[in-house]
Structure 1
Amino acid sequence: MAGKRESGLTHLRSDGRAEMVDVGAKADSHRTATARGCVVMAMETLKAIVSNNAKKGDVIAVARLAGIMAAKKTYDLIPLCHPLALNKVSVEIEPDEGLPGLRVEATARVTGKTGVEMEALTAVSVACLTIYDMAKALDRGMSITGVHLVEKKGGKSGTWRADEKSNGSHIG
């Protein structure tokens, strides 16, 4: 028997025990989430990656695939996530000499009963980790920064977009 939730957190019972939320009664809706993050590195490392001169191979292509694969396995990685039949996952990785480094953006889409924010965030995180892994022989001082949800659409709560000034705002 589930305990009453007093904290407002959907995954915690009033006695503090974690549980998976029952989404069975929710209506299916089209849901989308986009997340972003960066890998900051030395300019020489960025140049090696862009020119495809990393010893482990095409860093950007492998990181893109790793991000897509990770989104599909989010429920295996995050204990209380539901397994989702994703409609689409895209991972875009762009060089940015101003960092210097690589900017990663992932978008996940589903028609279902629960959102895809964790899938988009997982895709970005694993793509960034893969970039680090593939280029660490060139630059162990790289840093993964700014992983965050940019936008989510769909479901009962509607659309939400990050507000750069206040680190998030809800848009009905």
Structure 2
Amino acid sequence: MNAFSMINVGEKPVTKRVAIACGTITVGPAAYVRINDRSLPKGDPLTLCQLAGIQGAKAASQTMILCHPLPLDHVSIKVEPNPRTYQITVFCTVITHSRTGVEMEALAGVNAALLNIWDITKMVEPGLELTNICLLAKMGGKSGTWVHPLGVPNWISQIVNPSVPLVLSERDVFVITLSDRASRGEYDDTSGTLLGDTLQRYGATLIGREVIADEPEKLRALIVEVLARSSPDLIVCTGGTGVAERDVTPETLAALFDREIPGIGERLRSDGARYTPLSWSSRAIGGLIGKTLVVALPGNPKAVAEGLSALLPDLLPHLLRIAKGAPK
């Protein structure tokens, strides 16, 4: 006898997941007028369908037997009537922080909303039709962002490809990668590249980038040189924050700090724990040398991306502003 089971997602990291689905119901001219002026005997379908769509998304795992029950952070139903075609299009957006996606929840929300419009409208127009029920976009997880190849409305594009606020404009940044192997050219410095590219997307000016071995003397000398030469607003290091014998970044930086900022490391670890409990083994650190903010992130590219998402767009700009003497 065949054994049935849900897919085991227990080993996957928790990430932010977003899914947006849509569908359309054609109601005809007579029913459209009644819907629009809210004169149907059962009530207002455009209001009720939004409530039904939210409930439908929440109940997805109850109607699809192998669908994981997920804690949903957000569900919204958007309704767009079209008086030219006598159609009503429903959009469902679902957001969660979980180990698996919410595509089925978004589709379930759309279906529930459309079926409630049908139920309320059927007594005045039995010839209703549901069409174009589909997934429009999804974000998160291993596959990243997917957008329907036939295109999506602009408001959906802004959700899945949001514009990045230029909160680091007019800030000079220097990036340091600590890695024995990368310094020997055994592999590309993907973490440093990601770090520099991301900071520039937020408006920073990248004034330099260096790859050095995991050696305290080299890191200390490089930071002293960079501070003397250009006095950047921000120095970000990647690598050397673990517990291996040659992971010496935190100790080296702590000896240089005029003031340590414990909250930086605490924020990085607590936020990283949403993705993996191994985040608590990181010794990420931050502090001030004069008016220059120095932050040390882990060396893994994925951890760099997650770390930056914890510090931007709010915490880093705030610290830089205060460090430079701006009012709170």
Common fold by TM > 0.5 = yes
1 or 2, which has the higher helix percentage?
Answer: 2
Instruction: Say whether 1:115 aligns with 2:117.
Output: no
CA displacement at 1:17 relative to structure 2: 5.0
Please tell me the residue identity of whatever aligns with 1:62. L
How many Å separate the matches in 2 of 1:16 and 1:67?
A: 35
- Note the 1:57-96 alignment, pairs <5 A: 57-96=43-82
**Partner residue in 1 for 2:149:** 163
Conserved 8 A contact 1:28-1:113: yes
Q: Is the 8 A contact 1:43 1:101 kept in 2?
A: no
How much has 1:49 moved relative to structure 2?
Answer: 0.5
Q: Distance in 1 between matches of 2:123 and 2:147?
A: 37
| SS of 2:120 mapped into structure 1 | helix
Specify the code of the residue in structure 2 equivalent to 1:138: V
Name the CA shift for 1:126/1:158 in 2 (closer, same or farther; >3 Å).
same
Pairing partner for 1:52 from 38, 48, 52: 38
Q: 1:99 deviation in Å? A: 2.2
Equivalents in 2 of 1:89, 1:31: separation in Å?
12
* Partners of 2:52 and 2:127 in 1: CA distance: 22
Residues 1:43 and 2:42 are matched in the alignment: no
Deviation (angstroms), 1:16: 6.7
- State the match for 1:23 in structure 2: 9
**How many equivalent residue pairs?**
151
User: What is the distance in 2 between the residues matched to 1:38 and 1:97?
Assistant: 13
Counterpart-to-counterpart distance in 2, 1:18 and 1:39: 35
Higher share of residues assigned strand = 1
CA separation of 1:22 and 1:147: change in aligned 2, threshold 3 A: same
In structure 1, C-alpha distance between the alignment counterparts of 2:2 and 2:90, rounded to whole Å: 35
Deviation, structure 1 residue 141: 0.2
Q: Percent identity?
A: 36
Structure-2 separation of matches of 1:16 and 1:71: 30
RMSD: 1.4
Deviation per CA, 1:65-122, whole angstroms, max 9, x where unpaired? Answer: 0010010010001000111000000001121123212110000000010000000000
Amino acid at match of 1:52: R
- Name which one, 1 or 2, has greater alpha-carbon Rg: 2
Counterpart residue number, 1:101: 87
CA distance in 1, matches of 2:115, 2:61: 18
Stretches of 4+ aligned residues off by more than 6 angstroms = none
Structure 2: gaps spanning 5 or more residues: 152-328
State the match for 2:207 in structure 1: none
Alignment of 1:133 with 2:109, yes or no, is no
Partner amino acid for 1:128? Answer: L
Pick 1 or 2: higher relative contact order, CA cutoff 8 A, min separation 6. Answer: 1
Are the equivalent residues in 2 in contact too, given 1:94–1:104 (CA < 8 A)?
A: yes
What are the ranges of 5 or more consecutive residues in structure 1 without an aligned counterpart?
1-14, 166-172
Aligned partner of residue 44 in structure 1, secondary structure: helix
In 2, Cα distance between equivalents of 1:16 and 1:147: 32
Which TM-score applies when normalising by structure 2? Answer: 0.45
Q: Provide the C-alpha distance between the structure 2 equivalents of 1:16 and 1:163, rounded to a whole number of angstroms.
A: 37
Separation of aligned partners in 2, 1:148 and 1:17: 30
